Structure 1
């Protein structure tokens, strides 16, 4: 007995969007896969719906062509350009290795955009604090905020070694600061910004948006809390479905356990109880 997977065409996806329905899993064209550094890749695919509707910190699920790999891999949207969507990911297993080997003209199944985004409605100085593979959603935050009147953005990125995302975020952010493990960490950069007066600019409230390793985000959250700075954190967690059914990605909050995929991935410091 064989089973078939339904792959709606671009026209079907467009019709669903026009009718107000969220498009289901569907195949899209890969337009490029680039190696940024050792084990880190940037994939671009064509999907007008995701490009038009994705918000900062939302993610997409990519599906392996191997029927034995049932679970999708979630990746934060890193940039959009017209009907093109880019994601940046590290090769950590067979699924991500498969994606890294794709080429222009291949197809991949996608579902999204998913999750609760950063709240960037009010004018502010948004300080985008990311570490490692937590930086892609912050690139998209910078891109989205570049079109917002009255806001400014500063990217504060920490890397293990090679600064693979600086060139991308610098296209959108007003200022870019980065550091590697030999020099310090993102809190080192935040301290410098506080000392030199670049943390608060143009009389705007400062808001931190952060994504990256858990210890880094906890440290950033506590740093911000001590200074009365609002902090939103995009949590990284293993996921199964990506839309709240499987309950794999739960995280502890002050209001009990919440699902990162649907209740998040964005939570405030207060929600997580990460305050000084």
Structure 2
């Protein structure tokens, strides 16, 4: 469901059903006349009457970022775990495939573009923090454009990132936890996939504990900034503030906090779709 909300009052101005599946991303053209939504497919709609204009085929995974170019002629999109940016012609036939694909070393988390007549500039940031700049005289030659890359590393040679997740079957009698550790270049260092029991929130906490112990045992996180990502808002909230923790899990949360003492660890909540690799490892552990 797509809802139109007054930005000043917060009042609902209208809504319409754009897809039978959950929408992962959407954007509006600069003139405010067209909307593009991303679910199983990309679809463009006329904002005045909500009628579908185009349908685009090509992304097998959930789309994470998407924009219209300034002139409204093209749509740029990137999906979770896909190492490319797709460029779509927004004004051609009703059903189409990507007209151009821009390769990246790692999936994009941000996309922007500037158009000057037919010339097009594309700017993107990858999961590993690498900046990509592309330029071409037109979209037809953009596919062959070689990107300029810029990577900004800190004095301690970057950071270590841990992604963890937990999964349970119905009834909570069987579950799994999974996680992976990468360096600031996105290179996989370690991973785990184990069986656990208990309610879903316990699996999320056990996954965080297992990931932190794996990091300590490996020694790769010494003197480096650590980013720990999970899609469990409650688990991260309890770790940050013990007073908010459920009494049933307080001892487990305290153990996690003790592991973190003396380390430069940033806790970050991310979308479940973004955490798909850790989720797959957790499900493999069941």
Structure 1 and Structure 2 fold alike (TM over 0.5): no
- Rg larger for: 2
Task: Tell me which interval the TM-score lies in, with the shorter structure as reference length.
Answer: 0.3 to 0.5
Which of the pair is proportionally richer in strand?
2
TM-score for both structures, normalised by structure 2? 0.33
TM-score for both structures, normalised by structure 1? 0.33
Which has the bigger relative contact order, CA under 8 A and spacing at least 6? 1
